[in-house]
Chains A and B, each alone.
Chain A
Amino acid sequence: DTEVTQTPKHLVMGMTNKKSLKCEQHMGHRAMYWYKQKAKKPPELMFVYSYEKLSINESVPSRFSPECPNSSLLNLHLHALQPEDSALYLCASSQFEGQHRELFFGEGSRLTVL
């Protein structure tokens, strides 16, 4: 069972909507990640937070806005998305960033943009 919880599991939104994806972990991990995964492809890194500060932004368009309110929570705010943004969005955590340790993934949020 995953110890990283993502909500919602499914989200359908129009291109003018504003929505948020949420991620929570209670393992005491200090690094949290957002990945985007298209069908039959490996996950692509979007953002990394380390100790609640944005550490890496992989040149993600500004219509995706991450937020880390505290060490257990990670949000991804979505606004004015495009149909090509439809994908599985995965949250992950690790004990620390840069320690080459394994990632713990949530089950993902399946996003469809109409």
Chain B
Amino acid sequence: SQQGEEDPQALSIQEGENATMNCSYKTSINNLQWYRQNSGRGLVHLILIRSNEREKHSGRLRVTLDTSKKSSSLLITASRAADTASYFCATASDSNYQLIWGAGTKLIIKP
């Protein structure tokens, strides 16, 4: 079942700009993960943030987590054409080991 809601559903920006995607969820979580999927290909794990963490960085990626609002955001700085992909958030809870996926945000970086 789907727990996550992501917004926007689609985002188109110019190369070099920053891209921000949001994810909201409904139940308490152990961690929240972000994945990238290039068109028609497999998903690639980007970053995992635990429920006791508020912010995490990995290269040009910055993830924040607000457990009081049950939401997370993924910021990609200085976007590149290669960042064009769909981005999914997924949550893991202590009561359900399996990941619950958001609907995804389709990001298009215009050269």
Residues of A within 8 A of B (CB): 2, 4, 6, 40-43, 45, 48, 56, 88, 90, 92, 97-108, 110
Q: Could you say which residues of chain B place their CB within 8 Å of the CB of A97?
A: 97
Residues of B within 8 A of A (CB): 2, 30-31, 33, 35, 40-45, 48, 88, 90, 92, 97-99, 101-104, 106
Q: How many A-B residue pairs have CB under 8 A?
A: 53
Q: Kindly state the separation between the CA atoms of A41 and B101 in the bound complex, as whole angstroms.
A: 10
Q: Kindly state the separation between the CA atoms of A6 and B45 in the bound complex, as whole angstroms.
A: 17
Q: A43 touching B101 by the CB < 8 A rule?
A: yes
Most buried by A among B48, B90, B101: B101
Q: Which residue of A lies closest to B94 (CB)?
A: A100
Q: Could you say which residues of chain B place their CB within 8 Å of the CB of A48?
A: 98
Task: Tell whether A108 pairs with B41 under 8 Å between CB atoms, given A42-B103, A100-B30, A102-B48.
Answer: yes
Q: Could you say which residues of chain B place their CB within 8 Å of the CB of A104?
A: 45
State the Cβ distance, A109 to closest chain B Cβ, in Å: 10
